[in-house]
Amino acid sequence: MNIYIEVATENNLANLLPLVSAYHNFENIQTSKHEREKSIRHLVTNESLGKIWLIYEDTKIIGYIALCFGFSIEFSGLDAFVDEFFIAPDLRGRGVGTKVLECVKIEAKKMGIRALHLEVARSNKKARNLYTRSNFKAREKYVLMSVNLHPDSIES
């Protein structure tokens, strides 16, 4: 099994958007097709915001992983959030996620990123185990909290 990643560009939207839709369905993320495309297009055309990599098995696209960039005083420099990570369901549990995370960590280091962060559903034990095996550690002292500032949000 030859697993590798390539940076997605605007030219990859036709392949990428169905994967994003599948991830959003899996995680029950409520976004419209238009909003997903607008967000993905914005990210792949603005390198200062982050990167999306398509995940390949040989020549077949099997998923994607997206990093969004930030800055951390605590980590003394650039950091990034694994915003979305999707692998086709029939390929999960075969070491693909571990390989992809190793590739992304190498790429992140090359870009000068000092720390990677992610969030995972407490109920998703398989994903939590994957992240633990990949040296991500829960920061039990902290709780991720968010406020949605999107103008169409009822939470804002």
The pLDDT of residue 8 is: 98
CA distance 92 to 79: 27
Is 63 in contact with 87 (CB distance < 8 Å)?
yes
CA distance 69 to 47: 9
**Cα-flanking dihedrals φ and ψ of residue 40, to 5°?**
-65, -45
Q: Is 134 helix (H, G, I), strand (E, B) or coil?
A: coil
Percent of the chain with pLDDT over 70: 97
The pLDDT of residue 94 is: 93
- The CATH number of the structural domain formed by 3-133 is 3.40.630.30
Tokens for 151?
């103008």
Pick out the chain residues at pLDDT < 50.
156
